[in-house]
Amino acid sequence: MVYLTPEEIKHYPIDPMPAADADRRAIVRERMESVGQWSPRQQLGNRMAIGCVALEITQRCNLDCTCCYLSEHSEAVRDLPLPEVFRRIDTITSYYGPGTAVQITGGDPTLRKKSELVEIVRRVRESGLRPSLFTNGIKATRPYLQELAAAGLADVAFHVDLTQERKGYATEVELNEVRQEYIENARGTGISVFFNFTVTEQSFHEIPELVRFYIRNADMVKTASFQLQADTGRGTDRERGSLISQASVRSQIEQGAGTSIDFDASPVGHSSCNRYAMCFEINGKLYNGLDDSDFVSRIVASGDTEWDAYTKLAPASAALRWIKDHPGDLLPAARYMGRLVWKARADLLASRGRVNRISFFLHNFMDACHLEPDRIKSCSFYTVTRDGPVSMCLANAKRDDYILQPVKLETGAGKPVFWQPLSGDLHDEEGVVQELDPTAHPLSRLKGRSRALVWREREREKARAATARSASAGGGPAAG
Ligand code: SF4
């Protein structure tokens, strides 16, 4: 396998901004074709110009995950000024157009002032994009979520797993208590619930039980995302165990689902990066929703219907709209529905027709020093930086290049100023990004590896001092 070299990573070009009237899906379609990942069932290029874009509104976090992808310097970086956040929202719109899924993330975005977060959510929604909040959930109480829902929040994605080392929870099953609390916080707000989960060797065996939890809560949980541990960022648990692969995680999910699930029916981006499956939960049982490849191709190729809208009934009304716009597909649609209804007839009767949709997503981030050029070229998950959107894997491989950059702010008085990420000061000149020693930050601003390093050094110093004390008390060096 050939990987991008450090020089190539450093100078990787930013995608050019498309013309206002450009066919944005055609641009990505061409990329998918160039890396051999195109098919009529490929969602990227058919239904969407990008899978989603991360909008990192703070680099700070109130947890210290063992697999954290953030930089060692993150806690020392000030929150991006609001005008720059708004400019980046406009950038997303210009690149990918309306309907784009925007992950409002960080760090943990709830560490920003709530009034600012509300403004950001509103701005994303008013720009015609789909705002989702990515959070560990600690500060996302019910009134908090209600306020964000009123501002237009569409989804909340809770990250809950053992890598966060939440006190009092030794297993993933025990953490279901936290997940349940978060679900109840979102219930009735109109916000869709996602869960993010980092797969490590420690948690791998609990995936089936976790999937059963999601199925029991399928009335609220719309997407369960599994992210395979990768060697990137400041986290202390870096190397992926040999147990973990796309295939092994899929099989764990299927074990929990109690049925086989098709993760290949409708790709979203590069097959080495993502796997997607959509199921229906009926009477506590899962039914594969993508089991008819001809019908899936027709839906995906039609491209223009918004299936994932904001209300529970929206997918049903989207289906009716789709049939009206594609009368030639009425027969395949009826065949698809008929087969599902027949297969699930007993459960449909038992549930009185209640059906919930739940999607499973596998995301396979690359190690920072093993970036595959084809996957970067056809990336479906970008983060928006000062200079424009960048593949998340690429950004993770050189995070400091982005978070320590001074940011140009227009003052309206003709001459811009430059915001400095470490001090928050405004300078007339841009200045240069300095080489920094992460361990030089105060301990309160250290996380991950640098915190562990400083901590170890302090412990060693304490041990040395104790040895010296006992040596001087005993008149000679201590034994051992
Ligand atoms: S972020 Fe990385 S793993 Fe995810 S789609 Fe992009 S290149 Fe693939």
- Residues 376-407 pLDDT 10s: 999 999 999 999 999 999 999 999 999 999 99
Which is the closest atom of ligand 1 to the Cα of 364?
A: 3
Using a 6 Å cutoff on CB, does residue 69 contact ligand 1?
no
Using a 6 Å cutoff on CB, does residue 392 contact ligand 1?
yes
The pLDDT, as a whole number, for residue 350 is 98
Probe target for ligand 1 pocket from 240, 369, 380, with the most ligand atoms within 8 Å of CB: 380
Confidence class of residue 103 from pLDDT cuts 50, 70 and 90?
A: very high
The pLDDT, as a whole number, for residue 311 is 60
Using a 6 Å cutoff on CB, does residue 213 contact ligand 1?
no
The pLDDT, as a whole number, for residue 95 is 97
Which is the closest atom of ligand 1 to the Cα of 375?
A: 7
The pLDDT, as a whole number, for residue 438 is 85
For residue range 146-202, list pLDDT tens digits in order: 999 999 999 999 999 999 999 999 999 999 999 999 999 999 999 999 999 999 999
Higher pLDDT, 319 or 89: 89
Expressed in angstroms and rounded, the spacing between residue 325 Cα and the centre of ligand 1 is 34
User: In angstroms, rounded to a whole number, what is the distance separating the alpha carbons of residues 437 and 38?
Assistant: 44
The pLDDT, as a whole number, for residue 479 is 38
Q: Is the pLDDT of residue 229 over 50?
A: yes
The pLDDT, as a whole number, for residue 309 is 57
Report the side by side order of strands in the sheet with 426-427. 407-409, 417-419, 426-427
Least confident of 297-306, 319-328, 436-445: 297-306
Expressed in angstroms and rounded, the spacing between residue 132 Cα and the centre of ligand 1 is 19
Three-state SS at 293: helix
User: In angstroms, rounded to a whole number, what is the distance separating the alpha carbons of residues 179 and 185?
Assistant: 10
Atom 6 in ligand 1: residue holding the nearest Cα: 379
User: In angstroms, rounded to a whole number, what is the distance separating the alpha carbons of residues 267 and 42?
Assistant: 5
Probe target for ligand 1 pocket from 392, 398, 399, with the most ligand atoms within 8 Å of CB: 392
Q: Is the pLDDT of residue 238 over 90?
A: no
Whether the bond into 258 is cis, omega within 30 of 0:
no
User: Read out DSSP for 233-265?
Assistant: TT-S--SPPTT--HHHHHHHHHHHHTS---SSS
User: In angstroms, rounded to a whole number, what is the distance separating the alpha carbons of residues 415 and 411?
Assistant: 7
For residue range 422-434, list pLDDT tens digits in order: 999 999 998 877 7
> What contacts 123, CB < 8 A, 6 or more positions away?
85, 86, 89
Expressed in angstroms and rounded, the spacing between residue 205 Cα and the centre of ligand 1 is 25
Provide mean pLDDT across the span 282-308: 84
Using a 6 Å cutoff on CB, does residue 269 contact ligand 1?
yes
Confidence class of residue 307 from pLDDT cuts 50, 70 and 90?
A: low
Provide mean pLDDT across the span 234-262: 95
Residue type, position 450, single letter? S
- The overall average pLDDT reported for the chain is 93
Task: Let me know: does 225 contact 361? Beta carbons within 8 Å.
Answer: yes
The pLDDT, as a whole number, for residue 475 is 59
Three-state SS at 328: helix
> What contacts 460, CB < 8 A, 6 or more positions away?
none
Using a 6 Å cutoff on CB, does residue 232 contact ligand 1?
no
User: In angstroms, rounded to a whole number, what is the distance separating the alpha carbons of residues 453 and 456?
Assistant: 5
Provide mean pLDDT across the span 348-374: 96
Three-state SS at 379: coil
Q: Is the pLDDT of residue 313 over 70?
A: no
Higher pLDDT, 91 or 477: 91
The pLDDT, as a whole number, for residue 480 is 34
The pLDDT, as a whole number, for residue 166 is 98
